[in-house]
């Protein structure tokens, strides 16, 4: 079946620190992979995505590379800001255009000044 | 509207009661999704509408859960004979078509006491 295993939090970092949030997946076929972010008081937002192996998704300084050999899609950012404090969810869909997403449990990131 | 709107934002109900949760998608979005997020978990897919019809209801946990979208816009998630285990945040998302970027609402927090 399809599942996503995500690094458990919470994660607390100082401003300008390097961020990695690990995500691995199990899927049948060739899934698309996503990172969603939920800022305090807001709905889930798509942060970035990758639809095939070796693709790199990037947005707002965040990056994640679709690694088929390790079934991973780790989220990274070189220098976090206080405004990056949020809950981050890794997710997959069975294929591009599939109807539903399978989410990880989420990782809460707090960035302190 | 500007975004996906869900009402009410909070709902407290007694065990055994019937509840309805409403989702107003972004105007013109044909695809609509319902997810359920239990405490400490990621969102879990419930049902997907394309237009007025439920194209995929494989995530509905049992026959106490039902959703409609009679005019292809607003959707209502209905839960009969609520149980304490139904307590969760119910999320709605819409997109301009299958596989397109989904926009999430802020959710309805349902508490069954």
Q: Which pLDDT tens digit goes with each residue over B88-106?
A: 999 999 998 877 888 999 9
Nearest CA in chain B to A41: B106
> Using the beta-carbon criterion (under 8 Å), do B101 and A42 form an inter-chain contact?
no
Of A42, A89, A97, the CB nearest to B106: A42
Omega within 30 of 0 (cis) for the link into A11: no
> Using the beta-carbon criterion (under 8 Å), do A101 and B59 form an inter-chain contact?
no
A96 neighbourhood in chain B, CB within 8 Å: 99
Residue B84 in 3-state DSSP?
helix
> Using the beta-carbon criterion (under 8 Å), do B42 and A98 form an inter-chain contact?
no
Question: Using an 8 Å Cβ cutoff, are A38 and A105 in contact?
Answer: no
> Using the beta-carbon criterion (under 8 Å), do B45 and A97 form an inter-chain contact?
no
Question: Using an 8 Å Cβ cutoff, are A11 and A109 in contact?
Answer: yes
Closest Cα in chain B, distance from residue A107 (Å): 10
> Using the beta-carbon criterion (under 8 Å), do B99 and A104 form an inter-chain contact?
no
Quick check: A98 pLDDT over 70?
no
A39 neighbourhood in chain B, CB within 8 Å: none
Q: For residue range B20-31, what is the model confidence (pLDDT) as tens digits?
A: 999 999 999 999
Rounded Cα distance, B17 and B87, in Å: 13
> Using the beta-carbon criterion (under 8 Å), do B59 and A4 form an inter-chain contact?
no
Q: For residue range A24-73, what is the model confidence (pLDDT) as tens digits?
A: 999 988 899 999 999 988 889 999 999 999 999 999 999 999 999 999 99
């Amino acid at each position: 079946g399809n599942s996503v295993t995500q690094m458990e939090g919470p994660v607390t970092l100082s401003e300008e620190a390097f961020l990695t949030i690990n995500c691995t997946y199990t899927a049948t076929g060739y899934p698309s992979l996503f990172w969603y972010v939920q800022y305090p008081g807001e709905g889930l937002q798509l942060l970035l995505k990758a639809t095939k192996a070796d693709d790199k998704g990037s947005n707002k300084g965040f990056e994640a590379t679709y690694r088929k050999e390790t079934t991973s899609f780790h989220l990274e950012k070189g220098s976090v800001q206080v405004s990056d404090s949020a809950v981050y969810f890794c997710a997959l869909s069975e294929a591009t255009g599939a109807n539903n997403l399978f989410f990880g449990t989420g990782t809460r990131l707090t960035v302190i000044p | 509207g500007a975004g996906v709107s869900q009402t009410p934002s909070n709902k407290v109900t007694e065990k055994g009661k019937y509840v309805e949760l409403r989702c107003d998608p972004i105007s013109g979005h044909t695809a609509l999704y319902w997810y359920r997020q239990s405490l400490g978990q990621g969102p879990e897919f419930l049902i997907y509408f394309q237009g007025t019809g439920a194209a995929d209801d494989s995530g509905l946990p049992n026959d106490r859960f039902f959703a409609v979208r009679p005019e292809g816009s607003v959707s209502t998630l209905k839960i009969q004979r609520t149980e304490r285990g139904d307590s969760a945040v119910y999320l709605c998302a819409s997109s301009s078509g299958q596989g397109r970027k989904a926009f999430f609402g802020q959710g309805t927090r349902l508490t069954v006491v």
